[in-house]
Chain A
Amino acid sequence: MNIVVLVKQVPDSGLARQLDAQLRVDRNGPNNVMGELDEYAVEAALQLKEAHGGEVTVLTLGPDQATETVRKTLAMGADKAVHISDEAAAGSDALATSKLLAAALGRLEWDLVIAGAESTDSGMGVMPHLLAARTGAAAATGARKIDVDGDTITVEHQRDNGYDVLTASLPAIVSVWDTINTPRYPSLKGIMAAKRKSVETLTAADLGVDPSEIGGDAAATEVLSATDRPERTAGQIVTDEGDGGRQLAAFLAAEKFI
């Protein structure tokens, strides 16, 4: 079974992040990491490969420095990578991104595509369905569990108050939540082996996508303004010296919660 994993490099969500002068996510900072949910997608792909054989190919769209993220997935155990890197793609919105990724998927042989449920920068959670709509593959998203049996895939789609069991025939596109597994760390051997693995770098032209359809100028959405939310400020903080609970209760009573 051949699997393509979609990973996106993002600024670390645990640290301060910024928009640049063009109101795009600043990707030039030092704190870029693999999209935190994408690590679970890589792990899911590796586990399925271990169970069913085949090859895992990583696909990413992003600036040159996204190579670091690609290297990490190869070190975790992915077999090869395709990196779409093109100045013209900067500022692409979700629709344009999906055109490029779909074009790349069109050149690869795959039975299954695995993505993160959402990226941790723009966090739209729409890419898997955009790609399914473009490729005609089945989309079973938001998985907390994936099973493949022959050419049938079964997914537990996580909901707020339970889950749905989804079944489809391959080829399919799935996305995963962080409840699905525990991603492995790259081993030293993995890191060494990654150096010999193939990373194909492609431009929009290589993919037959017209540069006028991608990038900031072609975006179907526009950010008009951005403002920092005023930080919440601390109110009254007391140290418990035996009646902290009573003080808290008095506050809750004054606010009419008890």
Chain B
Amino acid sequence: MADILVYVPESGKHAAEVLTLARSLGDVTAIAFDDQSTALASEYGAAKVYRVTADGVDDYFVEPKATILTDLARQAGPDAFLLPSTDEGKALAARLAVALDNGLLTDVTGLDAEGARQDIFAGATVTASKITKGFTLATVKAGATAAEPAPGEPAVEAVEVRVADADKRVRIAERVDEPAGDRPGLSEADVVVSGGRGVGSAEDFALIERVADALGGAVGASRAATDAGYYPHKFQVGQTGTTVSPQLYVAAGISGAIQHRAGMQTSKVIVAVNKDADAPIFGMADFGVVGDLFEVLPQVLEEAEKRK
């Protein structure tokens, strides 16, 4: 059996997906820095957990964890080391790659004997790649696999580390959370309702919010909408925003530029409302309405209310 190391940060669904993917490749050893991550690793079938305690590790950016992961990788000599494709996961993977002079793949959407799959060119092309130097070091994109629990009782090995002064270069002086409110998180939601420039104003995004609430979904926005200040940037879907892969994606007043499609084209069902019959978004919609979103969406809300 292959030995697979997985870095498990506290964040739920994405880490669970990486653990699930890792399990399909071999015996999983998770690296956890807190009890939540340890519990997640047990729930998703890790055979072993390195439970790391390192005083002050969370006060500094990336470097302390990178050093600890490097040491554990040296010790474990894995066949693969998987991390979630987040800013932190990628930064850690980059530092592992330099420290171990090991190849590196990011934003992997699948991994098996055939290689690591990646979407390139905003998803227009799918590649399979492998690492030719060292073990398979890869960051795994959110949504790559469906998380499947496999509860077990992993052997937990306590690892105690002192954070080296050399790793204290970048201090995290403050963490500011901007709560998402009552709606589901954008990247985890089953339904995403996004508004674009066609929504026209910040006030009118309330209509998008009402449709999202009626469908139990999250609100998204195109870059034109976030740039115009209609909705906060953290809700941007696309190449420089969040990638979503929900069961249902509703695009209202969005033209469907390549960079927007990059962030939503793997959605299961896509629905579009746009005044312009030639908008590219219709080319990928399972159902589209050519019309004014201010006429169409209120009618959808009425009907949804009736069907409750």
Interface residues, chain A, with chain B CB atoms under 8 Å away: 13-19, 23, 37, 93-95, 98, 120, 122-127, 129-130, 132-134, 138-142, 154, 157-169, 172, 177-179, 219-229, 231-240, 243-253, 255, 257-258
Contact = CB atoms under 8 A, between A and B. Distances in A.
B234 A245 contact: no
B269 interface: yes
B197 interface: no
Interface stretch (B47-55, B71-79, B151-159, B166-174): B166-174
A168 B167 CA distance: 11
B110 interface: no
Nearest to A182: B227
A223 B94 CA distance: 19
B275 to A, nearest CB: 9
Task: Give the 9 A-B residue pairs with the shortest CB-CB distance, closest first.
Answer: A245-B299, A240-B291, A220-B103, A249-B303, A220-B133, A129-B94, A133-B98, A235-B286, A232-B284
Contacts of B169: 138-139, 168-169
Nearest to A123: B107
A237 B234 CA distance: 31
Nearest to A17: B121
Contact of A226 (B63, B126, B186, B287): B126
Nearest to B272: A237
B300 interface: yes
A130 B98 CA distance: 6
Interface string B84-113: 000100110111011101111111000000
B123 A229 contact: yes
A202 B172 CA distance: 37
Contacts of B1: none
Given A15-B258, A123-B120, A236-B288, 11 more contacts: A14-B259, A161-B180, A164-B174, A166-B173, A221-B104, A245-B296, A245-B302, A246-B303, A248-B273, A249-B300, A255-B269
A166 B61 contact: yes
B10 interface: no
B42 interface: no
B254 to A, nearest CB: 15
Given A98-B98, A240-B292, A221 B176 contact: no
A95 B257 CA distance: 32
A98 B103 CA distance: 12
B182 to A, nearest CB: 14
A220 B134 contact: yes
A66 B94 CA distance: 25
B228 interface: no
A126 B296 contact: no
B239 A235 contact: no
Contacts of A219: 103, 132
A235 B186 CA distance: 25
B39 interface: no
B170 A226 contact: no
Given A160-B186, A234-B282, A252-B271, A126 B288 contact: no
B178 interface: yes
Contacts of B222: none
B179 interface: yes
A124 B107 CA distance: 8
B298 A245 contact: yes
A221 B296 contact: no
Nearest to A249: B303
A220 to B, nearest CB: 3
A178 B233 CA distance: 10
Contacts of B126: 226-229
Contacts of B185: 160-161
Nearest to A99: B98
Given A223-B127, A240-B296, A247-B289, A95 B104 contact: yes
B124 interface: yes
Contact of A162 (B123, B178, B290): B178
A246 B303 CA distance: 7
B179 A248 contact: no
B119 to A, nearest CB: 7
A219 B104 CA distance: 10
Contact of B242 (A126, A160, A239, A252): A160
A98 B265 CA distance: 32
B215 A258 contact: yes
A258 B301 CA distance: 10
A126 B185 CA distance: 25
